[in-house]
Chain A
Amino acid sequence: MALTRDQIAMRVAQELQDGYYVNLGIGIPTLVANYIPEGMEVMLQSENGLLGMGEFPTEETIDPDLINAGKQTVTAVTGAAYFSSAESFAMIRGGHVDLTVLGAFEVDQEGNIASWMIPGKLVKGMGGAMDLVAGAENIIVTMTHANKHGVSKILKKCTLPLTGAGCIKRVITELAFMEIKDGAFHLLERAPGVSVEEIQALTEADLVIPEHVPEMKV
């Protein structure tokens, strides 16, 4: 069966390592914070100037001067640090963040990602997304495999304006965990109960399917 949003987040969380500094985008990526393995320490970076983002505040501790990149009120963990946007993106651009998780509209087999603009809709802007995809060595994209009409978003070539070129290596959808290399998607894992054929059917890109495709453990 296709993964839920939370299950996608759970699978992403398995890629975390103790001591990782991680930037989580808005949407499913944010949920990853709920599934950090027991006893593992991870520091969340929020690109508006916070390393060590904590959970939401209570009504008593809410502070308008302490928000995350989604403009939500948050808290800071012990050992956190605040800094300017320039410093924050120095961290990101300089490759100091260990893992970045973010959503996308489309990805393609060249590692391109489109995540910020749909022509014809109001353009709100890329925010920090272009910096994140250009700066991070280690990116996981979480997205749905196809749109509601069954049109694949795992493509040979992105159709929407790009957020970054040649920068994506790993993608998790509700159906599959895939790696992009040598100009193709490689199927690493499938969602429990989802067949390789179902994945193949919803994948427009070249998909390399190994003999054995294990099921995800979520």
Chain B
Amino acid sequence: MSAPFGRRRLTIGGARRVGAYVVLAAPDPGGPAPEPGQFYMLAAAERWGGGEDERPFLPRAFSVLRATGTDPPTLEFMLEDVGPGTRRLGELVPGDGLWVTGPLGQGFTAPGEGRRALLCGGGVGTAPLAIWQDALLASGREAPALLGFRDGEHAEGAGLLRDARVATDDGSTGHHGPVTDLLVAELDAGTPAIVYACGPPGMLEAVRALCEARAVPAQLALESGMACGFGACFGCVVPTRDGSYVRLCVDGPVLDAELLAGVPAH
């Protein structure tokens, strides 16, 4: 279903800390239910600007973490402070205004016959996997999740999914090492899988290479710098295997791993 035309102003209903992350919740009376893997362009309604280097100016892209309830559905987003835009959004409190445009882009598609879903993510890449896990479980499928984090504080984000297995870079919780260690073990055991992954470029590239080597299909939710989120600026392109570019905001953010020769570093 298409997104309402134009940005709309929501009111923050909740803002909670989950480990190193902030989860914002905003009832969305005007919007349709998002598909798992879709994203929204967000901006604070007040004082969007005047931060580090006088930014932010453009809206920022966020995968929807979950859309709960109906009449109206409440959108949830998970964010980490990495710069002026995420900092400002992370300061929002209930009652503050939030501009949203969306849902946008192409999300995940269900596993083909006989394939079991494996969810693999890292950091804020947890977000789209949460709503996707919900959908898979709701359709009666299994959806085990493997999540990698920097440290124990970040790993609290794993609580946003059901029964996620965790790896941390510093070994403070779960497996000590990259989440792909867990993925390799899973891939090399059991029935044919399809991998749904979202995370930092290095992790995604590792997932892509692992899956390619094993001829396992994978759907990767990528990130790239976006100005508009709806195909207008041609700024968010990623290079594809055939030497051309796709706009991540309209042809992604979820791309078939096959499309890519590699996951670009930014």
Do A and B pair up? The answer is no
